[in-house]
Amino acid sequence: MSFRQLMAVVNKEFRHIVRDRSNLFLVLFAPTLVLMIMAYTLTVDLQHIPIAVLDYDHSPISRSFVQQITAGSDLDYYALASSMEEIEDMLMHGEIKAAIIISPSFSQNLLALRGIPMQIIIDGTEPESGAFALDHIGWRTEEFINDALVDQFTAMNISSESLQPIDLRVRTWYNPSLKPRVDLIPGLISMVLGFPALSVALTLAHEREHGTMEQLMATPVGRAALLLGKMIPYVIVGLINAILIPVLAIIWFQIPFNGSFLLFFFLSAIFLFSIVGIGIILGVFIRTQAAALALSFLVIFFPGFFLTGIFFPIAAMPELVRLEAMALPGTHYATITRGVFITGVGLDVLWPYAVMLAGLGAVFFGLAALFFRKKLD
């Protein structure tokens, strides 16, 4: 491969990027913008789930129970229903996501320490909010019972210190406030850094559409110099994004960055090389920019969204899909970004993923160089 030819292509490609102001803006800021939009629309920071209560007990205890359950900002007390039909009606209209039915013997049983008869209904069509409501009603009930028991024993002149009713303490490590964004944003970075791959596929298609590829094919330019020369500028542009995005994540979303920034930058470079490798393969086979756009979404962004474990755990996927996930650079990079951001691990833990990324990149580039012919159709 001729270094002069490589540098000529790299220089030319940089000029194309810089010349077109709107294109430059897109290339530099589209990943950051898309990340912002996705972070706000996709984060499942559930709050204010509306619930209804059907209280057959009508006792001060049942009333204080309802009060305690809806005390926080997570569950909203929507209505006090008077019948099951009313509950059903509210569920059908989507006015509430969950309902609590308190039986007539609620306070009686509670005071007699006989367990509390109570029914919880959740809307299964929205499993996310339903499960969330169930969860919260569960632990708030626990809280209430503990308090009630302590009161009860105190009233019976039994020292509350001598008994430990229930002491359940759940701790989530690494993301103590359980904010979904913390987990999501590092994962999303692996998606939005796929944009340079789209750009590289587009630039090859652009050259074919405008006849400049024909001119290039008639020159002695080496295939490796041409393809690598196309890739390098977009890897560099991607790296600029790999600086902007963590800064945004830390300052704007206040996401912890516990690892080494240098390591993140270095591993991002390897990821960009492999993802841009997919773009260059697309560019080798594709003839038009429209096709490049459509296929990029099919091959880079959709799998990047669904198969890289950002939202759906890879372990839960069928074996064949799991294999495909392993062949996606985003899968390994998502592990790396989470590792560097949240757990703050180093290369001693992340090296297998780095090796996978480098291997995939080499395979993609090899395939592109193998299939790229300096011939028209």
Partner 1 sequence: MTISPIIESIGLTRDFKNTRAVDSISVSILPGELFGLVGPDGAGKTTTLRLLAGLLDISEGSARLAGFDLGSQPEMIKPKIGYMAQDFSLYADLSVHENLSFFAEIYQVPPAEIRSRSERLLAFAGLTEFQDRRAAHLSGGMQKKLSLACTLIHQPQILLLDEPTTGVDPISRREFWNILTELHLDGTTILVSTPYMDEADRCSRVALMYQGQIVECDTPARIRGKIRGEMVALYADDWHQAHRVVAGLPGVLEVQNYGELLHILVDSADRRIPEIEASLASQGIGLRGLRAAPARMEEAFISLIRRLEA
Q: Which residues pair with 4 in a beta bridge?
A: none
Least CB distance from residue 235 to partner 1, whole Å? 21
In the DSSP assignment, the letter for residue 339 is I
Cβ nearer to partner 1, comparing 92 with 218: 218
Cβ nearer to partner 1, comparing 211 with 318: 211
Least CB distance from residue 240 to partner 1, whole Å? 21
d(CA 339, CA 149): 43
Q: Which residues pair with 80 in a beta bridge?
A: 53
Tokens 């057959």, residue located: 56
- Whether the Cβ atoms of residue 275 and residue 197 lie closer than 8 Å to each other: yes
Least CB distance from residue 287 to partner 1, whole Å? 15
DSSP labels for 261-290? Answer: HHHHHHHHHHHHHHHHHHHHHHHHH--SHH
Structure tokens that stand for 331 in this block: 């899968």
Cβ nearer to partner 1, comparing 7 with 294: 7
Spatial CA neighbour of 206 closest among 274, 278, 286, 273:
286
Cβ nearer to partner 1, comparing 19 with 93: 19
Cβ nearer to partner 1, comparing 16 with 322: 16
Cβ nearer to partner 1, comparing 215 with 258: 215
Least CB distance from residue 15 to partner 1, whole Å? 6
d(CA 140, CA 238): 47
Tokens 């303490």, residue located: 169
Least CB distance from residue 289 to partner 1, whole Å? 15
Cβ nearer to partner 1, comparing 8 with 321: 8
Tokens 């062949």, residue located: 327
Least CB distance from residue 2 to partner 1, whole Å? 6
Least CB distance from residue 20 to partner 1, whole Å? 7
Least CB distance from residue 370 to partner 1, whole Å? 16
Spatial CA neighbour of 91 closest among 132, 127, 50:
50
* List of E strands, the chain: 49-55, 75-81, 98-102, 118-122
Which spans of this chain sit near partner 1 (rule: CB under 8 A)? 2, 4-5, 7-9, 11-12, 15-16, 19-20, 210-212, 214-221, 374-376
Q: How far are the Cα atoms of 127, 291, 301, 314, 369 from residue 309, in angstroms, in the given order?
A: 20, 27, 13, 5, 30
Compute the radius of gyration of the chain from its Cα atoms.
29
Cβ nearer to partner 1, comparing 120 with 221: 221
